[in-house]
């Protein structure tokens, strides 16, 4: 079966055999750490290898991601015309000019229904789905409903073979909810600033379950305007 990659060398290298379609990735991190940049890389790689990429924009209008991809020389209009790059606007409730818009952000049912509808129309394709950030949609929702949403949605995505990247902003959701949520994903990427007082150092923790054991490695990363995210070899910095 074919495997998928992030298009980020240091990260792909540490995952060895990539990730399978149908697996689910949680990206958790502080504001400004690089989650959206990571999402852009993941989409760029998806477009490169023939996947259909769906980006759910919750924190910024979809055009912010269009412009970001263009800054990395991705010709978004052509991909959109071919139906290989699809945006779902979960940012603007009214007045959006996008084809797919979540009309009411307070109802997860509406989100789930639209996501399912869009995915259904790409059945049979190899699909990557990115929700940036899912935590934004869940802020006003109670715990039981969040967990029910995750279970139902992730099960459906797995069954449909969708390679999913769900982004969560650190500290937005209840820590207990985040812990339980984390267990539902195959791969967890935690991005954080280290406590250095002099200059901000970006750290990436890659965690996954391997032979029924949770294994993780820590890496330093930087964001280059030309190359995007650069992940360095396992630095073994703190555990």
Ligand X SMILES: Nc1ncnc2c1ncn2[C@@H]1O[C@H](COP(=O)(O)OP(=O)(O)O)[C@@H](O)[C@H]1O
Select 35 or 219, whichever has its Cβ closest to Mg ion: 35
Give the β-pairing of 52-57 and 85-89.
parallel
Cα 28 to Cα 191: distance, rounded to the nearest angstrom: 6
- Choosing from 13, 20, 67, 71, the residue that interacts with ligand X (CB under 6 A) is 71
Which residues, 6+ apart, have CB-to-CB distance to 59 below 8 Å? 36, 91, 132, 133, 136, 169
202 is an interface residue for ligand X by CB under 6 A: no
- Choosing from 36, 52, 164, 181, the residue that interacts with Mg ion (CB under 5 A) is 36
Q: Which residue is nearest to Mg ion (CB)?
A: 36
Residue 218: contacted member of Mg ion, ligand X, none (CB under 5 to 8 Å, by partner type) = none
135 is an interface residue for Mg ion by CB under 5 A: no
Site string for ligand X, 34-53 (x = CB under 6 A): xxxx----------------
Q: Which of the ranges 28-36, 46-54, 98-106, 214-222 carries the binding residues for ligand X, by CB under 6 A?
A: 28-36
Give the β-pairing of 163-169 and 127-132.
parallel
136 is an interface residue for Mg ion by CB under 5 A: no
């Amino acid at each position: 079966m074919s495997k998928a990659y992030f298009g980020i060398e240091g990260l792909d290298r540490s995952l060895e055999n990539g990730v399978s379609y149908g697996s689910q990735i949680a990206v958790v991190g502080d504001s400004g750490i690089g989650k959206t940049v990571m999402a852009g890389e993941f989409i760029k790689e998806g477009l490169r290898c023939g996947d259909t990429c769906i980006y759910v924009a919750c924190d910024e209008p979809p055009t912010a991601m269009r412009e970001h991809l263009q800054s990395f020389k991705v010709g978004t209009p052509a991909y959109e015309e071919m139906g290989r790059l699809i945006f779902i606007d979960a940012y603007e409730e009214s007045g959006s000019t996008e084809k797919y818009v979540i009309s009411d952000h307070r109802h997860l049912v509406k989100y789930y229904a639209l996501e399912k509808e869009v995915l259904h129309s790409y059945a049979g394709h190899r699909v990557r789905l990115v929700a940036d950030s899912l935590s934004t949609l869940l802020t006003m929702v109670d715990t039981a409903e969040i967990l029910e949403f995750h279970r139902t949605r992730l099960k459906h995505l797995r069954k449909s073979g969708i390679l999913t990247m769900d982004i969560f902003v650190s500290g937005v959701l209840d820590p207990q909810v985040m812990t339980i949520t984390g267990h539902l994903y195959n791969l967890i990427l935690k991005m954080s600033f280290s406590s250095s007082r002099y200059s901000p150092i970006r750290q990436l923790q890659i965690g996954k379950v391997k032979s029924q054991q949770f294994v993780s490695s820590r890496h330093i990363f930087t964001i280059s305007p030309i190359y995007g995210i650069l992940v360095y070899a396992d630095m073994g910095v703190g555990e």
